[in-house]
């Protein structure tokens, strides 16, 4: 954790020193997440729909080599509904995260208005909200409505994660189309020696450079 904050402090100092060459892009996109749980040779996957929005500021370091850092809000969600003997059970999962990517990138200019920029780097992630709501209905009558918190003293999951991120951005004038993949590096389960859970997923989005 201390190393992660030290990296952020170093990047912030670099941005202050080079803010004259900084460019900021606001973005929004689709970013589903898969949670893979592994026990020995057995594994299972839990798939969530996901969306994100945020910004990234890029500073040119040497020629076309740059470093970008920013922040985004990311939301994961899933719903399952089952009906048995007239009783309907609806389970809704929701997670909201704050991500801080720090990405090394290299700008390949095709012409003045068109460029392709591959990027790679870490993304620090903190889960602000995570819960499961279970509602049981018998016809129009509600039998129960309960929430289970993923985090805190009674939760089973850790809030902090680090992803390895790679992908590419295609820029035309001030408009951007980007995509890539994020690979979770840390086990998200608490107090678990034999079972691991890691998160990963692809992302695509649109951005506008200010």
For residue 95, tell me if it sits in a domain. Answer: no
Q: Is residue 130 part of a domain?
A: no
**For residue 60, what is the domain's CATH number?**
2.40.160
Is residue 57 a part of any domain in this protein? yes
- pLDDT at position 15: 47
Give the range of the structural domain holding residue 195, as residue numbers without chain letter: 2-74+102-124+159-209
Q: What is the pTM of this model?
A: 0.84
In-domain check, residue 81: no
Q: What local confidence, expressed as pLDDT, does residue 3 receive?
A: 47
Does 12 map to a domain?
A: yes
- Tell whether 91 is covered by a domain: no
pLDDT in tens, the chain (210 residues): 454 444 444 544 444 444 447 889 999 999 999 999 998 888 899 999 999 999 999 998 888 899 999 999 999 999 998 988 888 999 999 999 999 999 999 999 989 889 999 999 999 999 999 999 999 988 888 888 899 999 988 888 999 999 999 999 999 999 999 999 999 999 999 887 789 999 999 999 999 999
Q: Reduce the secondary structure of the chain to three states and give it as a string.
A: CHHHHHHHHHHHHHHHHCHHHEEEEEEEEECCEEEEEEECCEEEEEEEEEEEEEEEEEEEEECCEEEEEEEEEEEEEEEEEEEECCEEEEEEEEEEEEEEEEEEEECEECCCCEEEEEEEEEEEEEEEEEEEEEEEEECCEEEEEEEEECCCCCCCECCEEEEEEEEEEEEECCEEEEEEEEEECCCCECCCCCEEEEEEEEEEEEEEEC
What pLDDT, on a 0 to 100 scale, did the predictor assign at position 192?
76
User: 94 in a domain, yes or no?
Assistant: no
Q: How many domains does the chain have?
A: 1
In-domain check, residue 83: no
């Amino acid at each position: 954790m201390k190393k992660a904050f030290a990296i952020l402090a170093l990047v912030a100092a670099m941005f202050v020193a080079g803010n004259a060459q900084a460019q900021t892009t606001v973005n929004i996109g689709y970013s589903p997440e898969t949670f893979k749980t592994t026990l020995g040779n057995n594994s299972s996957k839990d798939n969530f729909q996901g969306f994100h929005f945020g910004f990234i500021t890029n500073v040119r370091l040497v020629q076309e080599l740059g470093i970008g850092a920013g922040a985004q809000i990311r939301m994961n969600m899933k719903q399952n509904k089952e009906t048995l003997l007239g009783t309907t059970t609806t389970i809704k999962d929701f997670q909201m995260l704050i991500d801080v990517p720090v990405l090394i990138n290299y700008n390949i200019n095709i012409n003045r208005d068109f460029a392709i920029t591959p990027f790679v780097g870490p993304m620090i992630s903190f889960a602000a909200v995570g819960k499961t709501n279970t509602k049981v209905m018998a016809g129009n009558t509600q039998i129960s409505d309960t929430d289970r918190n993923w985090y805190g003293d009674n939760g089973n999951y850790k809030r902090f994660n680090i992803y390895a991120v790679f992908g590419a951005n295609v820029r035309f004038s001030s408009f951007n189309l980007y995509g890539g993949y994020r690979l979770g590096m840390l086990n998200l389960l608490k107090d678990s020696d034999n079972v691991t859970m890691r998160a990963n997923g692809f992302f695509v989005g649109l951005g506008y450079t200010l």
